[in-house]
């Protein structure tokens, strides 16, 4: 995968949903200081993350909402902010500290299916779901580590469960699976 630069989670997630590079959508890192605003943005700062003034461009959920389509974002970075005048109809705040247990992962699938079972007038027609694996393992152990491979296999199983659950709804659904950035093994020192 060729990520946008910097190849970090928040900038790339916002690139995916806006089609813009970080220098155009405003999230130039997971944490940064903005001289113009005289303020700091950090993914660990709920107040900053939910402040729509940090985000430029229009994410897909805001575009859909502006056209009268209901959307849902389950842990997608930035979705808790009002951006371009809109928020998703349904959202769960992004929390990098949410433990990625099997129960939590299954709950995201169950939440998406529950939303799809709502009456047609209330049902979202665009849903994003974020899982932090194998990102966390890759950062902690490296892309070629057995821990990362185990996380990849676990997520492969979760995507299979998600696909099965979506198919069971009987609705015409396009499932798109993306990665926020790639990884390479660090070779040698910084210099």
Task: For helices 146-168 and 102-116, give the axis angle rounded to 10 degrees.
Answer: 20
126 with 69: CB under 8 angstroms? yes
Reading the block at residue 88, the tokens are 């998703």
Parallel, antiparallel, or unpaired for β 39-42 and 71-74? unpaired
Catalytic residue set: 9
If one counts every other C-beta atom within 10 angstroms of the C-beta of residue 147, the result is: 14
């Amino acid at each position: 995968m060729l990520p946008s630069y910097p190849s970090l989670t928040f900038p790339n997630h916002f690139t995916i949903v806006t089609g813009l590079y970080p220098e155009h959508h405003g999230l130039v890192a997971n944490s940064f200081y903005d001289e113009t605003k005289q303020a700091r943005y950090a993914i660990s700062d709920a107040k900053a993350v939910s402040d729509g003034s940090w985000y430029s461009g229009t994410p897909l959920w805001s575009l859909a909402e502006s056209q009268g389509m209901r959307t849902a974002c389950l842990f997608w970075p930035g979705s808790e902010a009002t951006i371009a005048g809109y928020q998703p109809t349904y959202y769960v705040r992004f929390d990098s500290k949410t433990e990625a247990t099997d129960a939590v992962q299954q709950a995201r699938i169950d939440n998406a299916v529950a939303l799809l079972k709502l009456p047609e007038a209330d049902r979202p027609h665009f849903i994003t779901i974020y899982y932090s694996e194998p990102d966390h393992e890759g950062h902690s152990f490296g892309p070629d580590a057995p821990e990362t491979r185990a996380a990849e296999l676990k997520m492969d199983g979760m995507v299979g469960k998600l696909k099965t659950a979506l198919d069971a709804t009987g609705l015409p659904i396009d499932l798109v699976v993306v990665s926020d950035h790639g990884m390479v093994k660090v070779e040698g020192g910084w210099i």
